[in-house]
Structure 1
Amino acid sequence: MGFLACRAELHSHSRASDGKPTPEEVVIRAAQLGLSAVALSDHNTFRGSALAQASAKELDLDITIIPANEVRTSRGDVLVLCPSLPDEDPPKGIEPPELRKWSLERGCIMIAAHPFQPGRKGVGRYLFSHYTEFDAVEVWNARGLPPLNWLAERFARSKGLPMTSGSDAHVISELGEAPTVVFAEGCTAEQIIEAIKKGMCRPTKGRMGFKALREAVEWSVGRRLGRAY
């Protein structure tokens, strides 16, 4: 059987945590962009993914929703991608080895998010000595500094770890700026996750455009000032 090249947005956010768009808006935009799949990885919750799945079904959109959660562990942020919606969220502040156990029990994978970006709360140096706890490394984050993305890529290559990319979108215009190309038998959540575990994926290296940057700054400032959107 041949493989499909699934273009998957593996890192995005909605109003279920600190993003501007609703889960429904994320799903619609992902479908408009022609993405095969989108992981709505809201901070410390799978709620955004659940709402996104419901929206995709209601709107009859041909796109896979990968249940995801950007978990704030005791060592930093970790993307958890699952084949189906888990029965619970992992606790905020969980130790990475415990999150590893939690993930394995549910068939999920762990990806080190923006590991070396300053101020982004990545796992950083912890990854150097504990890389075996992770299934992949996000080597290109569209919001990240390129030299530190390259550092993540060099490290992942040196350890033979699968490499992913993501937009880390918090506003709709960021979505799909750096999808991961996953080579799988199909573009279901389970097939994409299995392919990533095997290293059958390739990061892309898009950057935030001016419109996305302006919108993201306005959203971030507005949230901090308590403005309604």
Structure 2
Amino acid sequence: MFAVDLHAHTRFFHGHRGLGDRYDPIGVSLLARTARWRGLDGVATTNHDYYTPFEREAATIVPGIEVTTTRGHVLVVGPDPPEETVPLEYTPAEVVDMAHERGCAAIVAHPFRNSTVTDVQDLPFDAIEINGKHPRTQPLVERLATEHDVPLVAGSDAHYPVEVGRAYTRIDADELTPESVVEAIQDGRVEAVVDRRPVDRFIRRWYRAIHSRKHPNDLLSKPTPGVGEPPQS
């Protein structure tokens, strides 16, 4: 059994691609070291609409990309994610096909934040994510996973290294490789975990405060309609 954070970013900013490319090797090293410190075995690098190969660090690095589809974000995780995608160019169905053609898993990211991906019925998603930034949506995500008959996974959606591991996925596999991660997800040999220790609750509040200043209209900083906030989120 391996513990892997399936959603993390190597930088805390978007845009400025040239500067970001130079920063990414530092970012991935910080992610990997934090993951190991948190007791994780691996972390997926799922930057927005691009993938950069990284060498193995203190924790296993799982390749991935977060694709901005026409209806929200989809994580593509596995041995051969696309190197770059154009935001809003692909439909969710096209991204699922792309992922499977490349031997990757297609995961619905934060389905209750700026996303209508799951409104598209009968798409063969491999999993739906409980997102570490707002675990208060967990009951709704669990309901979605049941409705779509797909496994639940979890990821921190870390943009700062300190966020790594606040949500992660237990993966039942004999070895930890990108291929084994995909197989475990598609076979349902996964378990979503949200860390609700006091330090993680503090980190969530801290990040929401920062994010609400940067993006005052983002649903991340507001309660999800119809969902009460659990006392330990």
Q: Which TM-score bucket, shorter chain as reference?
A: 0.7 to 0.9
Higher relative contact order (CA 8 A, sep 6+): 1
User: % of aligned pairs identical?
Assistant: 33
Counting only pairs closer than 5 Å after superposition, residues 161-180 of structure 1 correspond to structure 2 as 161-180=150-169
Q: In 2, Cα distance between the equivalents of 1:89 and 1:31?
A: 28
Alignment-derived partner of residue 46 in structure 1: 51
More deviation, 11-20/164-173:
11-20
State the distance in 2 between where 1:64 and 1:167 align. 16
2:178 maps to which of 189, 201, 205: 189
Determine helix, strand or coil for the equivalent of 1:204: strand
Secondary structure of 1:152's counterpart equals: helix
* Runs of 5+ consecutive residues of structure 2 not aligned to the other structure: 15-19, 217-233
Q: Which residue of 2 aligns with 1:32?
A: 37
Code of the residue aligned with 2:27 in structure 1: it is T
Corresponding letter in the other structure for 2:134: G
Letter in 1 for 2:202: F
**Which SS does the other structure have where 1:133 is aligned?**
coil
Q: Does 1:209 align with 2:198?
A: no
Which of 68, 79, 86 aligns to 1:83? It is 79
CA distance in 2 between partners of 1:99 and 1:134 (Å): 10
The aligned counterpart of 2:114 is: 121
Which amino acid in the other structure matches residue 209 of structure 1? R
- The answer to whether the 8 Å contact 1:11/1:39 transfers is yes
Whether the 8 Å contact between 2:6 and 2:155 is mirrored in structure 1 is: yes
**What is the root-mean-square deviation in Å for CA atoms of aligned residues?**
2.7
Match of residue 144 from structure 1: 134
SS at match of 2:157: coil
CA distance in 2 between partners of 1:185 and 1:72 (Å): 32
User: Aligned partners of 2:63, 2:187: CA distance in 1, in Å?
Assistant: 19
Aligned equivalent of 1:12 = 8
The answer for the alignment partner of 1:227 in structure 2 is: none
Give ranges in structure 1 of 5+ residues lacking alignment. 225-229
Q: Which whole-Å CA distance do the structure 2 matches of 1:215 and 1:76 have between them?
A: 21
Using the TM superposition, give the Cα deviation of residue 137 of structure 1 relative to its aligned residue in structure 2, in angstroms.
Answer: 0.5
Q: Using the TM superposition, give the Cα deviation of residue 135 of structure 1 relative to its aligned residue in structure 2, in angstroms.
A: 0.9
